[in-house]
Structure 1
Amino acid sequence: MCGIYGTTLNYNEQQVKDKLKRTAFRGPDKMGWQFYKHENHNITFGHNRLSIIDLDPRSDQPFTYYDHIHIVFNGEVYNFKAIKETLVKKGYKFTTTSDTEVLCAAYLEYGQDCVDHFDGMFAFVIYDEKKQLFFGARDRLGKKPFYYYHNGKNFEFASQISSIQMHMDDLTISEKAIAYYLAWGNIPDPQSIFNEIKKLKAGHKFTFDLNTGKFETEAYWDIDYKNERPYQGSYEDAKKELDGILRETVSARLFADVPVGVFLSGGVDSSLVASMATQTSSTKIKTFSVKFNEKGFDESKYAQQVADHLQTDHNVIECNYDEGIDLIQDFCHYYDEPFSDSSAIPSMLLAKHTKKQVTVALSGDGGDESFIGYHRYNWAKKGSIFYKLPLSVRKVGASILELAPHYKLKVISKALRYKDENEVYLSAMTGVDKSYINTPYDTNDIDELKYLVHENKNLYERISDFDTKTYLNFDINTKVDRATMAFSLEARAPLLDHRVVDFANSLPTEFKFHNGVMKRILKDVLYESVPKHIFDRPKAGFTMPFSRWFKEDLKDYVLSELDDKSLKDIPCIDVEKVQFRIKQHMDGTWDRYPLIWNLLVLKQWLNNNGKGYSIK
């Protein structure tokens, strides 16, 4: 787990160091860079290393293999030992025990198809001297980030946008990206906050030809959203097969040359990972959870119950108000571009204190998307019955509900006016009330709509696939990567192994959601080792008590940061409508904390990054 950087632009050594130092928190163990010159090309590769496998300096990066293959690599290839055995039989030689060297050899053997052999989370770039090209890829689910700048001639890339941003004088802030951020709470791939910088999409690989300046991308993996490979076995067959896959994915992610632990929230997904970790590890597993002092937010007692049953070395991290406020102040330093998932703050607190004992932590991310686990999926299905009624009838009902005093009924009123259930779900993910966003851009216009708007699957499966390609990638993976890497902690997600995702995607809906039981098959695997009664409770989220804080403890902060003058400096908003919504939150008539947090983050980013850039 590291930070990577590279460029064909002419920066001096100090400028390269500046770019690497900006994100040194991603890899504090060794900062390295290398200059390459071939014919008319000046090439720089840089790397911030967080040593996880083969701690010896021989595996430091940039790494060179067979004299002409140079690489910078962020992430892990979990099946590298199996790949290595195959390559050794083919005559390849290795001088390290790292996965980095195996990745290079795999490229030489399989060419650009090497990514099809990798099971892991990764973003890497190879400079092939003989072919005079860059070849790189990002993992299938987008767990590791990859930003790039391409002006038709030169190319620059990095794990975080701030490394490219430094010493770059031709960037402009994207008004379109700001509009999309206000709707989504993040900036969907392939956009970034700067017009000239893009994100490589998850499951894509690329080439950059040094001689022509041509840059090309290609998808190498996708979920089966057309339902072309449905599972044919029984439920019991599927449960047994899933159990085996999960044991393999957890076991693979426990391998490291540094201490490893597990994030344990007490929910189904993290408990399943912790359970299988205890069963496959020869040493006692350390588990970590967050304790909130706010009423209604503390779920630590459930994590403790699971930890007691599994007999883990459990650590409870108390969420301190002052510490949380400090992280809010430094938020954009680590997240680089506007990002407003409020659970990023407790995620950072968890990572900060977990790093004191381990360098790698396994998480339960991915279970809700693949196995139909969010409550909103059930509400979407229940609500879909209304869209069998004519729009004219629904509009009458909407008009009546619009007169109701409770804001939740007003939200339902708006939803009834949509064309169909697809449009409703899309609006639920981007904000039912977007009237305060003042922009000519259609913020629902994303390539990933194809996973939602089709007739190959039922509604449950479509929104599950859509979330995997949007919410999981744009939000969850971004949140976890930045939160953990801010404190040099590597997070690994067994449920995001592509084999788990592919398998879940192939299963009949009733294997995942049946008689009101969400994540049915995942729960049944868990209940083989952890008692069911521990989980007989409502599903909880992972967030901070911002709703109350913004009305009480942080009220003065909110009103000063989002005063009239400040709001007028924020692009793409209707100031009067925003002012009205802030007032609604303060007087308790409508919970507007997501909007307030959204604007606070955007303002902080603009304050720290907006000077000297035009907005286009």
Structure 2
Amino acid sequence: MCGIAGLFHVSVPKPVDPARVKAMTDMLVHRGPDGSGIWTGPGIGFGHRRLSIIDLAGGAQPMLTPDQRAAITYNGEIYNFREVRLELQAKGHSFRTESDTEVILAAWREWGPDCLSRLHGMFAFALYDAAADALFLARDRLGVKPLYYAELPDGALVFASELKGLLAHPRLRRTVSPEAVDDYLAFGYVPDDACIVAGVRKLAAGQYLLLQRGRGVGPPVRWWDVDFSHPVSGKPNALAEELTEIMRTAVRSRMVADVPLGAFLSGGVDSSSVVALMAEASRSAVETCSIGFDEADHDETGYASLVADRFATRHRARTVAAADFGLIDTLADAFDEPFADASALATYRVSELAREKVTVALSGDGADEAFAGYRRYRLFAAEERARGLLPGDVGRALGRLGDLYPKLDWAPRFLRARTTLQALGKSSGEAYAEAVGVTPPALRSRLYGPALLKALQGHRAEERYVKTMAEAPAKDPLSRAQYADLKIWLPGDILTKVDRTSMAVGLEAREPLLDHRLVEFAARLPANMRLRGGSGKWLMKRAMRRYLPEDILHRRKMGFVTPISAWFRGPLASEAAAIARSSALSELGWFDAAAISRLAADHRAGKADHGRLLWQLLMLDKSLQRLFGLGASSGYMAAAK
């Protein structure tokens, strides 16, 4: 894995200062500690930081074709590069290295933008074609690898793997985006179609951007999408066999590396499935690692040890303190943009542990989105069944009734919940958008001051989900929700978390359960083969029965749980109050300090649980300090340390 950065003068080929490209690239040294390179041409400059994985001696970048007519800086792994290489050799192309980078260059020369459909893997790259005087930026199908870009006042376009790379350019304007602030507080992350720095964009998953000199910056082009609208028919056993083979292929293709390789193992069905298939394919014991917590309610190491013993892995486990405050500033530095998924603390620690022995680690991320594993899918499906039985005016009445939180002992259990009743008063898309979010609109609006409300101009973060679900290529509500999560939640939260935490310690994380062929297969399944009888990942669990015991397949999902509510009633209580009175949020002038103080006081007193929102505000404050120089950073978090 690597870090990339660069600059392209869109209008005319002005000279590019290599030192400026180097400054951007040096901000990404953590992504590529093994080497660096800079290349410049007329109106173009590429930078690269390398983490050596394949062809350790011959894969240096930026890489040029022998005739110097094309250049590339690339972050990622192409798992089928040897097959594509053979196809290109049959067409007359020759190769000087054993790297996948050179294969991308040749594939571009042969097929142009259509080369992307032939590449199986995770990637974000910039390619310059001298003959066309054009820059080509591309991102993989699911958004495993990130790519930021922005236009400068002088008309140049800059790009980088992380926001900090762009910010190293002195001409990039730093202005806080009010819409991104609302998006972040709604979801706990800034989605792919937004950025906390106004004017900065992220190339979305499955998109490319082709810039020809003199023609300006046009809109990105979508080159891949997932289609839920054509479910297949088939017997469960046959489909389970097909799924097993797809998973087996995905895992084995990601075990190719010229450096030590291992896996994260939590003991859940996803990571356990990956480890089982790795053990099946490996001639030696698989390196696995897991993180445990000093609080039993949050510890999964017993399950991980059970799986490790079953497959005779070389397993290492480490117990860390649930109150891991020392990482808060480290994570703020790693993410740049505000990021409030508190499981990032544990993900960082397990990446740190893995890096002690390996350079590449396979993870189990992606199965929950592809096969409907989250609890929210089950609740949403139940709500949708109820919504389908209720006339619109009855649903709206129940929604208003939910605001009063009535005692409905006569109703089915799921209808007793206040949030369920409120959801029935909304459209399907509106209800799911709030279910997947962190802070609902009503609570956010209580915190916003007049200046932010005016700047938002009616912007509402949840509309992104409503629109995406309405436009989804899907025929049923569950599939529409999954489609939206694959487009918004997966790249915005899960993949951002894994990329930044693993790259912060120089570890390459690979996600076999996000192989696009596996995701496409899952999308073609009837909804009842993803979610059945209240159980998500139904067909996947059926496929894995030959490998995993029942107590792993059907145990309660835990994940990395961080007790942030308890933190803000204990060691972080003073920090919650500090956010309101003397922080970057206060200096920004967009928030009602009195409202934040009341919220923090109610939480400390146990009158309400605002732990997640307080964590959001803390991480937003950290980001604003770092990116915009707001607030007093000296002494901050002193009480927690």
Q: Which amino acid aligns with 2:500?
A: R
Q: In the alignment, is residue 425 of structure 1 matched against residue 435 of structure 2?
A: no
Q: 1:455 to 1:482 in 2, by over 3 A?
A: closer
How far 1:578 sits from its partner (Å)?
2.6
Q: Which amino acid aligns with 1:366?
A: G
How far 1:377 sits from its partner (Å)?
0.8
Q: Distance in 1 between matches of 2:466 and 2:385?
A: 25
Q: In the alignment, is residue 200 of structure 1 matched against residue 207 of structure 2?
A: no
Contact persistence 2:579–2:617 (CA under 8 A): no
Give the corresponding residue for 2:61.
61
Q: Distance in 1 between matches of 2:362 and 2:312?
A: 17
| Match among 473, 483, 486 for residue 491 of structure 2 | 473
The alignment partner of 1:346 has SS state of helix
Q: Which amino acid aligns with 1:421?
A: S
Give the corresponding residue for 2:636.
none
Runs of 4+ off more than 4 Å:
408-411, 452-456, 564-567
Q: Which amino acid aligns with 1:198?
A: R
Contact persistence 1:149–1:156 (CA under 8 A): yes
How far 1:83 sits from its partner (Å)?
0.4
Contact persistence 2:79–2:253 (CA under 8 A): yes
Stretch deviating more after TM superposition (592-601 or 575-584): 575-584
Q: Distance in 1 between matches of 2:585 and 2:126?
A: 41
Q: TM-score, normalised by structure 1?
A: 0.93
Q: Deviations over 1:7-44 (max 9, x none)?
A: 0366644433322221210000001111212xxxx321
Contact persistence 1:31–1:47 (CA under 8 A): yes
Give the corresponding residue for 2:444.
434
Q: Which amino acid aligns with 1:436?
A: R
Equivalent residues in 2 for 1:416-565 (5 A)? 416=423, 418-430=425-437, 431-432=439-440, 433-438=443-448, 439=453, 440=456, 441-446=459-464, 449-452=467-470, 456-563=474-581
Q: Which amino acid aligns with 1:337?
A: E
How far 1:88 sits from its partner (Å)?
1.0
Contact persistence 1:360–1:489 (CA under 8 A): yes
Q: In the alignment, is residue 35 of structure 1 matched against residue 45 of structure 2?
A: no
Q: Deviations over 1:284-330 (max 9, x none)?
A: 101111101123111111111111111111111222357x3222022
| Match among 190, 201, 205 for residue 193 of structure 2 | 190
How far 1:216 sits from its partner (Å)?
4.2
The alignment partner of 1:435 has SS state of helix
Q: Distance in 1 between matches of 2:90 and 2:263?
A: 36
Give the corresponding residue for 1:218.
221
Q: 1:11 to 1:134 in 2, by over 3 A?
A: closer
Aligned-residue CA RMSD in angstroms?
A: 2.3
Q: Distance in 2 between matches of 1:337 and 1:446?
A: 19
Contact persistence 2:398–2:421 (CA under 8 A): no
Q: Distance in 2 between matches of 1:396 and 1:263?
A: 45
Q: In the alignment, is residue 241 of structure 1 matched against residue 245 of structure 2?
A: no
Give the corresponding residue for 1:105.
106
Q: In the alignment, is residue 231 of structure 1 matched against residue 249 of structure 2?
A: no
Q: Which amino acid aligns with 2:29?
A: A
How far 1:391 sits from its partner (Å)?
3.7
The alignment partner of 1:6 has SS state of strand
Q: Distance in 2 between matches of 1:126 and 1:455?
A: 31
Q: Distance in 1 between matches of 2:47 and 2:281?
A: 36
Q: Which amino acid aligns with 1:343?
A: S
How far 1:565 sits from its partner (Å)?
6.0
Q: Which amino acid aligns with 1:178?
A: V
Q: In the alignment, is residue 22 of structure 1 matched against residue 27 of structure 2?
A: yes
Stretch deviating more after TM superposition (572-581 or 243-252): 572-581
The alignment partner of 1:330 has SS state of helix
The alignment partner of 2:365 has SS state of coil
Q: Deviations over 1:487-540 (max 9, x none)?
A: 010000001010000000000112222222221111112211121133443111
Q: Which amino acid aligns with 2:301?
A: S
The alignment partner of 2:44 has SS state of strand
Contact persistence 1:27–1:48 (CA under 8 A): yes
Stretch deviating more after TM superposition (544-553 or 149-158): 149-158
Q: Which amino acid aligns with 1:98?
A: S
Q: 1:447 to 1:596 in 2, by over 3 A?
A: closer
| Match among 537, 562, 576 for residue 594 of structure 2 | 576
How far 1:553 sits from its partner (Å)?
2.2
Give the corresponding residue for 1:382.
382
Q: In the alignment, is residue 209 of structure 1 matched against residue 212 of structure 2?
A: yes
Q: 1:587 to 1:185 in 2, by over 3 A?
A: same
Q: Which amino acid aligns with 1:148?
A: Y
Query: How many residues get paired?
Result: 602
Give the corresponding residue for 1:359.
359
How far 1:120 sits from its partner (Å)?
0.3
Q: 1:391 to 1:242 in 2, by over 3 A?
A: closer
Q: TM-score, normalised by structure 2?
A: 0.89
Contact persistence 1:127–1:135 (CA under 8 A): yes
Q: 1:127 to 1:195 in 2, by over 3 A?
A: same
Identity %: 35
Contact persistence 2:580–2:593 (CA under 8 A): no
Q: Which amino acid aligns with 1:221?
A: W
Equivalent residues in 2 for 1:285-324 (5 A)? 285-320=286-321, 324=324
| Match among 619, 624, 630 for residue 606 of structure 1 | 624
Q: Distance in 2 between matches of 1:414 and 1:573?
A: 30
How far 1:278 sits from its partner (Å)?
0.4
Q: In the alignment, is residue 586 of structure 1 matched against residue 604 of structure 2?
A: yes
Q: Distance in 2 between matches of 1:292 and 1:202?
A: 34
Q: Distance in 2 between matches of 1:93 and 1:531?
A: 49
